[in-house]
Structure 1
Amino acid sequence: MTKRLLSSGELAKELGISRRSISRYADEGLISVALVTPGGRYKFDLDVVRAELRKAAQGRGHA
């Protein structure tokens, strides 16, 4: 089964944060981009991003 990849807007909505934050996190390497479309748009795997953000929060001393 193929996972559905989310756009930055869809990911932002799922996580309850802004699209600008998604872009910033991707640019800073805090979250991984699963795919860059031919048009240059980013696609994300929700489960991977959640794990990455959880790990980043733990590294800052947050649960």
Structure 2
Amino acid sequence: AQSAVDAVFSVITGELKKGGDVRLVGFGNFTVSKRAASTGRNPQTGAEVKIPARTVPKFSAGKGLKDAVN
């Protein structure tokens, strides 16, 4: 079972690295989102910190998963 889960995560990760989307009907969608660079603040010193732009994975639950949880 562990190898099957690892294989699924490997496929999802590979597709997201290429910039693609993964849709699992009844479960949800994995997508890639780009975050713009921004300026933050160090809470200890108050100094401004530049936060670089980055690409992050996002997951949105499908109807089947939402219904199963509720």
Q: TM-score, normalised by structure 2?
A: 0.26
Bigger radius of gyration, 1 or 2? 2
Q: Which protein has the bigger helix share?
A: 1
Q: TM-score, normalised by structure 1?
A: 0.29
Determine which structure has greater relative contact order: mean sequence separation of CA pairs < 8 Å that are 6+ residues apart, divided by chain length.
1
